[in-house]
Structure 1
């Protein structure tokens, strides 16, 4: 059964915003007490957070679809809907978030580092919030915005200071087991290590982590064997240790050839691995033949500029010297690492000539409007409500969309698309209509109030005949 997963596809969906409420306050003798519809609640976000107790992406391998809760709709009496709960997904330290095209969206390193993978939709405004001196009793509310849905790829790159690299069965797992408290699987057949193992080593005052990377073979950088799958775990390491087998039973192998092959694969993989400081550990020198071979190849390796250590995981020969040498190299790399720059707030003011939208001709009699505001307003509109459509027309007219369409050559009856190609709303361009409110009557008037005025006028006449001056004009007629 799989217990370690370092690459998964994750499908996240944030919560939708709750719809606003269209409600009118009613009580005895006041059938139209004013709009009192509440706003909808905000949808929950999907957030990735680094958790030190999580070491694998296995949970998302089994359950790749995650969704936050939706916001609740508003209600009458100015009651706002409840916000949806954020969905927090713990990920291992060193997780890289990419989109489907391979673009890096976030590199999560450090306990508590967070990334909002899906933004929750905003709740729609109720008709109480939409009321104005011109529109005293809106008979509509705005819809909640849909939550953001994204397809992501999560890749785990181990956060370690030292990486042990080499051929399969070179003794890397044995070395990490005696250098630290790690207990990897050890056997006498190739590709025993199927997952990277991490161990913590203390050398004097320096504490660092060591990663045992699965064995590399020729063609690993192109995907042969397990190399390409786990070479990403070497990217973050500051120091590389070539573990060379001096007691191999294969007649066509020797430490120098193994070193050249592994170096060629690291160079082919790239990611700056060619510039990392490295040293060589000639392993299995407790065997007489291994020590003899180490004595033969040591001068050649030193002539190439490498520091060479004779080690043995069985007898623990040379391990103290190796651990302290690695500690010094790690400390030097940490000292040379640039300090984090202070957080700066970048202010990007909007240009004065930026309308916030664009109009482009896409064919004969077809125009497309793109922009954050128009697209958001379309998503918030209930097209089954004529008054809501009129309100949308008012907003687009004030923004200048109709004027720009005329400048672009749009004529009456042309098609106007608002939104992206896969989810656009189509309108017929009617430049003679200045605003949507004209479709419903004069601005500031409500047809429900108009229906009551004749009855109120008759009651005013009756009360005047009786000599009464104070009366409620909106009281239902007898």
Structure 2
């Protein structure tokens, strides 16, 4: 059963915005009191947040599909729909967010760092919000926008405070099993550890995490064995612990050469030169192992290494090792610079940015842009008035003028959006839009204030005096 996961593909979907409501206020003696349709609620966002209590991506391995709730639709009497609830997903410190192509979207370091991976859709406007002096009674409302989402990859680089490095079968899994409550797979053959194992060690008042990762062999920095899978996890660890086997059965190996080989691979991988190193001489419970440890310890200390002797089987030297690592971890944490406040990068739009682009693709003029595509998604194409409102918005944005400059003629196909959800129509230039249509669209004479009695009498008198007026009223014999 998988107990540690450091890379997952997550499928996220933000909440959809609620639809606006088209409603007319009605009460006694006032059956048509004006539009009172409320706006739809905003869809919930999907947000990643760094949580120090989370150390693995295991939850997302088991449940890779995550979705925020939708916004509720608006209602009559100017009642707006309820906003959808945001979905907050905790991730370990050091999680890298990538798209499916491998491009980095965010590098999340520091407690509380957030990144929105799925933005909730806007709620649609109700007809009360769409009313104006010329559009007194809109008979339509706008749809809510669909929430954004897609597939992302979460990759964990920060595994632990302490990383155990060494050759396969050096005893790393045995050490972590006795230092913490972790239960890694232990066997007498190389590459027993196929995925990193994580354990929590408590030494006095210090609590730190320790990782047992796949063993290194020569060529690991170029991907041989499980090298790259391992080295990715030590990029941000505070302390590197060399676990040296003092009782190896291979005649061509010895602890000093093993150390030199591992250090060479770390150097070739790069970026780990500043990590403090500690050496653990393991398996001293074997007589020959203790003798070899006594022999090479002065040489290691002469190189500047802090050396511990331990035996996972006999539980020898474990207390000294755990407290010694706790001391180094505490110093590394104290020396770590304080995380700065998350920087917000502002990218202003260019002065000449029209908000959309027009390209000709195989005889089709394609309009792309945030506003035109959003307006299309909000439009109810079964409502002629809503379609006219869309035409007004596109005309005010300058789409019709830009199409003319691009060489479009009457009857040419125009598509708004990408191929999957594009709206295609035959373009008819110089159609009535803007102020010409706003003067008549949405007007309802029943909502106009009644004219004074004197004005009504003058109107009837003018009608009687009209010589071209045709009389077809009923006349008695």
Q: TM-score, normalised by structure 1?
A: 0.82
Matched residues in 1 for 2:318 and 2:415: separation? 70
Aligned counterparts of 1:452 and 1:348: Cα–Cα separation in 2:
48
Answer whether contact 2:134 2:438 (CA < 8 A) is retained. no
How far apart in 1 are the matches of 2:307 and 2:57?
37
Instruction: Supply the distance in 2 between the matched residues of 1:383 and 1:49 (Cα, whole angstroms).
Output: 39
Per-residue deviation at 1:347?
5.5
Matches within 5 A, 1:416-427: 416-427=414-425
Match of 1:469?
A: none
Q: How far 1:70 sits from its partner (Å)?
A: 1.6
1:338 aligns with 2:323: no
SS of aligned partner of 1:19: coil
More deviation, 274-283/388-397: 274-283
Residue 78 of structure 2 corresponds to which residue in structure 1? 78
Bigger drift between 443-452 and 10-19 goes to 443-452
Counterparts in 2 of 1:15 and 1:350: CA distance versus 1, 3 Å: same
How far the C-alpha of 1:321 sits from its partner, in A, is 6.1
Whether 1:449 and 2:449 are equivalent positions in the alignment is no
RMSD: 3.6
Asked whether the equivalents of residues 113 and 342 of structure 2 are also in contact (C-alpha less than 8 Å), the reply is: no
Contact 2:164 2:212 in 1 (8 A): yes
Please tell me whether the aligned partners of residues 125 and 142 of structure 1 are also in contact (alpha carbons under 8 angstroms): yes
Q: Cα deviations across residues 125-158 of structure 1 (Å, max 9, x unaligned)?
A: 0011000001111111111000112101122334
Structure 2: unaligned runs, 5 residues or longer: 462-477
The 3 A distance-change label for structure 1 pair 408 and 105 is same
Asked whether the 8 Å contact 1:392–1:436 carries over to 2, the reply is: no
Q: CA deviation at 1:319?
A: 5.5
Q: Which runs of 5+ in 1 are unaligned?
A: 466-478
Q: 1:4-153 counterparts in 2 under 5 A?
A: 4-51=4-51, 54-153=54-153
TM-score in terms of structure 2 length: 0.82
Q: Matched residues in 2 for 1:453 and 1:283: separation?
A: 95
Aligned residue in 1 for 2:391: 393
Match of 2:37, SS state, is coil
Tell me the distance in 2 between the aligned counterparts of 1:323 and 1:58.
27
Q: CA deviation at 1:332?
A: 4.9
Q: How does 1:184-263 map to 2 (within 5 A)?
A: 184=184, 186-193=186-193, 194-200=195-201, 202=203, 208-221=208-221, 225-263=225-263
Judge which range, 168-177 or 344-353, deviates more: 344-353
Contact 1:9 1:152 (C-alpha < 8 Å) held by counterparts: yes
Confirm or deny: 8 A CA contact 1:280 1:309 kept in the other structure: yes
Question: 1:284 maps to which residue?
Answer: 283
CA 1:463–1:400 in 2, change beyond 3 Å: closer, same or farther? closer
Instruction: Identify the residue that residue 407 of structure 1 maps to in structure 2.
Output: 405
Change beyond 3 A, Cα 1:421–1:298: farther
SS of 2:373's equivalent in the other structure is helix
SS across alignment from 2:105:
strand
For residues 36 and 269 of structure 2, what CA distance do their matches in structure 1 show?
63
Q: CA 1:22–1:115 in 2, change beyond 3 Å: closer, same or farther?
A: same
Q: Distance in 2 between matches of 1:175 and 1:406?
A: 74
The alpha-carbon distance between structure 1 residues 427 and 436, as it changes in their structure 2 partners (threshold 3 A), is farther
Give the match for residue 170 of structure 1. Answer: 170
Partner SS, residue 60 of structure 2? helix
Alpha-carbon contact 1:213-1:234 (below 8 Å) kept: no
- The 3-state SS of whatever aligns with 1:390 is helix
Shift of 1:324: 6.1
* Pair 1:405–1:208, CA change in 2 (3 A): same
Structure 2 CA distance, aligned partners of 1:323 and 1:60? Answer: 31
Q: Is the CA contact 1:365–1:410 (under 8 Å) kept in the aligned structure 2?
A: no
